[in-house]
Amino acid sequence: MARGPERLQEVLTLGGRAPRVVGGLLLAMAVATVGGSIVPGLASLLVLRVPSPDGGGWLELLEAWRLLTWPLYQGPFPGGLLDLLFGGLMLVWLGRQLSFAWSERRFAIRCAAVTGGAGLLTTLLLAALGWPFSYGGIWPLTMALLLTWGLVFPGQRVSWFGVLDMSGATVAKAVAIGTPIWALAAGPQGAGLAGRLVAYTPHLAALLVAWLFLADGPRRRWYRLKGWWAQRRLASARKRFKVITTDRPPPKQWMN
């Protein structure tokens, strides 16, 4: 009979089909979704919330845990369970490949960076604009990871439902371009362009943070800048030293 830690290991890895960090994240989402639909008030403590400027409740902006917990709650039944199912399948597929490329620890850190960064950007932007807002769900994180997967594996091929074959680079472009188009098309009925984009602010913010913190492009530019600065300092340092060769012995004051 398997012992407790072995059972837990099998649960977290989904029977060896996913990394532990992905299984743990799915388990937390399941608990938050089911618990938030049953326990009154639990869901309101998890979601990202920007209060109305004239309605009070500004203490919610100081509840920093919301910046990390908002992807856990998927909404009330039955839609929340559907989001958990399909979003969870995407998370398993993406988490398995990205954890293999980075390590489980780095995958967890980068997920937290995307979640916290997107939550902070959304809160600061909408609080400054005076837009009341509340959001919870896995899809902004999933789309950010899909963008990252496309940038990390640009040459890898993926077939969507056996019909549409795309490379990783094409997937990244489709996510980056398609998300704002989808926001404008699927935003709240009767809202203007700004209101439609506001409804998808977490999605757009997550893509931006993923590109800044997880994608290789900005990091490559940063490393190039650091390399250029190091070469410049080295060239400047060389001017302050004389090159000693065997053809010309050093001055006597240099001798011990």
For each successive 10 residues of the chain (256 residues), what is the average pLDDT?
65 78 91 89 88 67 86 86 90 92 90 93 88 90 94 87 84 93 83 83 93 65 70 74 58 54
d(CA 104, CA 102): 7
Residues 122 and 201 sit within 8 Å (Cβ to Cβ): yes
At residue 50, what are phi and psi to the nearest 5 degrees?
A: -115, 115
256 domain-assigned: no
Q: What is the pLDDT at residue 1?
A: 46
Residue 88 CB neighbours (<10 A):
22
pTM score of the predicted model = 0.79
Task: Report the largest interatomic distance among the alpha carbons of the chain, rounded to a whole angstrom.
Answer: 88
Please report, as a single letter, which amino acid is at residue 248. R
164 domain-assigned: yes
> What CATH number does the domain containing 17 carry?
1.20.1540.10
Q: How many domains is the chain partitioned into structurally?
A: 1
d(CA 196, CA 190): 9
252 domain-assigned: no
Residues 83 and 138 sit within 8 Å (Cβ to Cβ): yes
Residue 48 CB neighbours (<10 A):
28
CA terminus-to-terminus distance, the chain: 76
160 domain-assigned: yes
β-strands 133-135, 48-50 pairing: antiparallel
| Structural domain that includes position 206 | 4-238
105 domain-assigned: yes
60 domain-assigned: yes
Give the CA angle between residues 50, 53, 55 to the nearest 5°.
90
46 domain-assigned: yes
DSSP state string for 12-42: HTTTTTS-HHHHHHHHHHHHHHHHHHHSTTH
